[in-house]
A and B are shown apart, each in its own frame.
Chain A
Amino acid sequence: MTDDTQMLELPLGEWHRAKGARMVSFAGYAMPIQYDGIMAEHLWTRENAGLFDVSHMGQLQLKGPDVAAKLERLVPGDISALKAGKMRYSLLLGEDGGVLDDLMITNTGHHLYVVVNGAVKHQDIAYLRANLPADIEVVHDDSAALLALQGPKAAGALARIGIDPAQDGWPVPTDLYFMEAGPFLWRGVPLGISRSGYTGEDGFEISVPAEHAEALADALCAQPEVKPIGLGARDSLRLEAGLPLYGHDMDPSTDPVEGNAAFAISKRRREERRFNGADRILKALAEGPVRKLVGFSVEGKMPVRESAPIYAGEMQIGVVTSGGFAPSVGAPIAMGYVAASHNGIGTRLEAEVRGKRVPLIIAAMPFIPHNYHRRGATK
């Protein structure tokens, strides 16, 4: 059994145990891997709403004059153009253009609020402090929990618990569209809420002071469409949504173009060429990357998992970086890197699992259509 004495405790640790969670060590913290079972939790989230505790992630504030322009040396997105209340997915680039982390950057109107991966947050903070000018302050807000409410019924549940705008006349959370954020109040407690997530579904991410996290989690789980969901289903949901997991599908050896994140390199930034690794990254963009992250449908029922080699005939041309059974697809799926010569949709390849060849077909991602609440979408 898991020995959790070495693990750090998050604000909702006891709350998860009381809900029957099986706890595991993740990013150094005791976190819930599952409650009722990964399959049921996954399917519940796709149909209803799931509450995920992602308090292990790093919540940072970047403050100082022209902080957006200064951060742009380290990320390839157009952060200067980000209006107050808007957020963007971006990549933290090492000096060679390798991906040190993927992150979400929000312009709060006062500063940049940045959410980074839990497993690398301390490295990220050190890197940001070392590489941003001295007049930029990098604040690690470890006094807040982070909850994600995800699923087609998330908005209905969130609307019902009585969240007010931070000031009269400002929007309520359900007024937000995908990739928008704002300040709110719940029973007088300040919340930062964004319409975003990691499941491919509509949903919200909620930053809440740690001492109020339990009350908020209880209020949300009191709604009939909301159940707590563990990390196991979080992983299968994001895999179906075609979203990479940092440290697996991307790491310091991958650049954004091969990592299928060229969309995160803004047009202005491509023209200006002023970010870490610009030469390497823009060359890959112009000429096509040497290898590329793609999705795979797996034939048969045997899951193909991380680090399985991928072959075209006798030649190894790639490796699986994420894979498993996809509950909403009803079959195994995977993600991995393949040589550019073999990366077309529909290409038939083979993975090797326990000495056996398993047929793979390169598939378009996402595997399950995204169900985001986009501004301007007709729904």
Chain B
Amino acid sequence: MTRYFTDEHEWIEVEGSSATVGITDYAQSQLGDIVFAEVPAVGAKLTKGGDAAVVESVKAASDVYAPVSGTVTEGNDALADDPALVNSDPEGAGWFFKLELDDVSELDGLMDAAAYKAFVDGL
């Protein structure tokens, strides 16, 4: 399994042509207390860079973008009852959705963990 990161602060963990997507620890720390998360429906077609999910903190709503194009295979239902999972375990139990990738070559432009850390340190 390989984990990639976007400059919009999503992570995507890929195994073959399947992947799990969430937001990074940095993203959740910037958003603050998460009170609502809306995940895409199973079967939804996502386009790289397009809207995929919504996360709302006390003060604002933010979009979560699709790191790559693909078809949603599962949404994290646990977030409906406990959106604070995104704060407590953003890169684990607070995942947003799983998808089947259209084109694994879209991963090429994403950052690895070291590159993402350098990116965040530079913000």
Contacts and interface: CB of A to CB of B under 8 A. Distances in A.
Are A and B subunits of one complex? yes
Given A303-B61, A305-B61, A325-B56, A38 B33 contact: yes
20 contacts: A1-B123, A37-B32, A38-B32, A38-B33, A38-B59, A39-B32, A39-B33, A40-B33, A42-B58, A232-B59, A301-B35, A301-B36, A302-B36, A302-B56, A303-B36, A324-B58, A325-B35, A325-B56, A332-B35, A354-B38
Interface string A37-50: 11110100000000
- Identify whether the interface residues of A are mostly helix, strand, loop, or mixed: mixed
Interface of B: 32-33, 35-36, 38, 54, 56-61, 80, 83, 123
Given A34-B32, A39-B33, 8 more contacts: A38-B32, A39-B58, A232-B59, A301-B36, A302-B38, A325-B36, A332-B36, A354-B38
B35 to A, nearest CB: 4
Interface string A347-361: 000000010000000
Interface string A1-45: 100000000000000000000000000000001100111101000
Nearest to B59: A232
B58 A327 contact: yes
Contacts of B33: 37-40, 325
Contacts of B56: 302-303, 325
A53 interface: no
Nearest to A233: B58
Interface of A: 1, 33-34, 37-40, 42, 232, 235-236, 301-303, 305, 324-325, 327, 332, 354
A38 B61 CA distance: 15
Contacts of B32: 34, 37-39, 232
B80 A235 contact: no
Contacts of B35: 301, 303, 325, 332
A38 B58 contact: yes
Contacts of A42: 58
Contacts of A39: 32-33, 58
Q: Nearest 7 CB-CB pairs, A to B?
A: A325-B35, A39-B33, A38-B58, A325-B58, A232-B59, A301-B36, A1-B123
Nearest to A356: B38
Contact of B59 (A1, A301, A324): A324
